[in-house]
Structure 1
Amino acid sequence: MAESEQGYLRDVQYRFPDRLKARSILHTRYGRGDWFEWLAANIPLPTGGLIADVGCGAGSFWTNAPQSVPSDLKLRLFDISEGMVGAARTSIAAMQRWHDVEASVSDAVALPMASASVDTTIAVHMLYHLADPASGLKEMARVTREAGAVAVVLNPANTMIELSELARAPFGGERDPRSEPLSSEQGLALMQGEFTKVDVVRYDDELRVTDPVDLLGYLNSLPIADKPGVMEKLAIAVEEAFRRTEGGFTITKASELLIGHK
């Protein structure tokens, strides 16, 4: 990813949590409903452990964490967006559940942490935003202690393909000229080059969206909608899609949790 694209993500797309919230609606209203419970059950979160959350966003993992997650964790939250860091800091403090929390604006390839100081480093749907994902993994491995773990969440290739095709509809189905985001298959290959062992846990889901407003809200939060005239075309595409499917738009999705052990 070019520096200009990273700047767009930092200063526009993820400057504040609004767009992420618009996208989360599809998953929370129409998905399995156990995403955060599933993450918490599969990511190593040792009692009293020091946890680094790289690309923490608005801190949604922690504000939605089930009671099974230890309350004595020491949280170190990092994001490239000042708005996201501020939102995470405020929302987690309001919970009064964790009492050792530090949130800072940081680049994922230059974390302000000592080497081998972290029990578990997590990066949920973040690695594909980096210009050099391999460097990001190397940095996460650096700060993680020898017996610790690095937990990365990525999507398999072609997940939510129905939504991608709908987003291309205003352009006659023309593909986005930008390169495809890093898939979990590609991420696994990178992690196998960095860690001695990598475990893979898959999360499958299906979204049957029944409200076109929610679907349009998701599409309008994407970078493609920033282009002049695109929002109107997306609205037409959504209307036509619901007409064809008689009131329900189905999206198949999956995510994979890749857990690297040093």
Structure 2
Amino acid sequence: MQPVTCSPARGWLGFPPSEQGGPICSSPLRKYLKRESAVKKFPPQHFSITTLNIIATITTTKMTTTTTTIPTLTAHTHAKSQYTTTSSRLAARLSIHNYNTHPQSWFQFAQTFIPKSGSILEVGAGTGALWSPPAISSPSQLSSVTSLTLTDFSPAMVATLNSNSDIAALKSILPNVKIQQCDAASLPFPDSEFDTVVANHMLYHVDNPIAALQEFKRVLKDGGRLVVALNGLDHLRELFEIGGMVGRGSTIAGLAKITAENALEQIEGAGFEGVESERFPGEFRLPGVEPVLEYLDSVGETDMEEGKRETVKRVVGERLDEGEGFRVEKNMVVFVGRKP
């Protein structure tokens, strides 16, 4: 407790003594009492030093017992809340790819940048969609791969990977398929272990992308390839404009330390050479409101309230183009670099 002290220069509320008509004292109370109410209702001459100390003690004690610490929201804490115990939110978000206008799916497109030989590590493998049809049409497509290691920080994702029948089929052909839970910035693998490291839409979930990129570089062999996929800040702009109206805006857009806009600088800053990029062509065309609701539901911890759902239905209905559906821009970019 801060004691009440007296000073010849300042009053107990911090005002000149001529305005107070009482002892010249200062107290923690002046932080919580306003001049207009305190001076009128409780003139200082009505208080003794003992009384002021008692009030200060009560006020200080009350503040101590009601103060709470609010956790700082970061990219990683957001990812933990979304993905640690369930893979359903990610699955709901991936369903938007059903409305892709490009002839290739995203995962087919991304696979064209991954060598089909040597040892491959995917960090943040999620549900394993990169290793399932249509991305991999047949396990024989990977017959020259010597090992495939899939990791994720989330126990729920690891469980989903272990139950993925397409990955089980790969195990029947590939000599060494492993699934492991671990952190992207602290990989439990020796130096120079892999020919290729893949990070598909996961780096914006880490708080220190440079540290993760340097860890990827550590486990790569000399001359090994890094394949990173990231979204731009305007990815799904139309969806998140509506989401912002109902409290379902893009959280990660405000938290991510790396996006398609600054990825080149960071990948090169981590020590990779010859970095090139290619943007996934096309857009999404959603046939109606249900895919929008499904996506925005996945952004929160619970489904939206009925009033907010009605708002989404109204706005999407106003923006539907006849014959074109609800058009949503995408900005998905693959970056490929090499360890010197």
TM-score band w.r.t. shorter chain: 0.7 to 0.9
Picking from 65, 81, 89, the partner of 2:162 is 89
Is 2:87 aligned against 1:17? yes
Picking from 98, 112, 127, the partner of 1:58 is 127
1:29 aligns with 99
Structure number with larger C-alpha Rg: 2
2:142 aligns with 70
Letter in 1 for 2:99: R
Letter in 2 for 1:244: E
Q: Is the 8 A contact 1:150 1:259 kept in 2?
A: yes
Is 2:190 aligned against 1:117? no
- After the TM superposition, which of the residue ranges 229-238 and 241-250 deviates more from structure 2? 229-238
Scaled by the length of structure 2, what TM-score is found? Answer: 0.68
Structure 2 unaligned runs (5+)? 1-70
Provide the C-alpha distance between the structure 2 equivalents of 1:174 and 1:200, rounded to a whole number of angstroms: 27
Which protein, 1 or 2, shows the higher relative CO under an 8 Å CA cutoff with sep ≥ 6?
1
Secondary structure of 1:179's partner?
helix
Give the alignment of 1:153-232 within 5 angstroms: 153-171=229-247, 179-181=254-256, 182-193=258-269, 194-222=271-299, 225-226=300-301, 230-232=304-306
Letter in 1 for 2:159: G
Provide the C-alpha distance between the structure 2 equivalents of 1:176 and 1:8, rounded to a whole number of angstroms: 8
Provide the C-alpha distance between the structure 2 equivalents of 1:177 and 1:218, rounded to a whole number of angstroms: 14
Provide the C-alpha distance between the structure 1 equivalents of 2:85 and 2:115, rounded to a whole number of angstroms: 29
Letter in 2 for 1:17: S
Structure 1 unaligned runs (5+)? none
Q: 1:3 to 1:105 in 2, by over 3 A?
A: farther
Scaled by the length of structure 1, what TM-score is found? Answer: 0.87
Q: Is the 8 A contact 2:194 2:219 kept in 1?
A: yes
Q: What's the offset of the Cα at 1:232?
A: 3.1
2:315 aligns with 241
Provide the C-alpha distance between the structure 1 equivalents of 2:193 and 2:106, rounded to a whole number of angstroms: 28
Q: Is the 8 A contact 1:167 1:234 kept in 2?
A: no
Aligned residues: 256
Q: What's the offset of the Cα at 1:201?
A: 1.5
Secondary structure of 1:185's partner?
coil
User: Percent identity over the alignment?
Assistant: 28
Letter in 2 for 1:250: R
Q: What's the offset of the Cα at 1:43?
A: 2.2
Q: What's the offset of the Cα at 1:53?
A: 0.4
Provide the C-alpha distance between the structure 1 equivalents of 2:284 and 2:130, rounded to a whole number of angstroms: 21
Letter in 1 for 2:155: E
Letter in 2 for 1:238: V
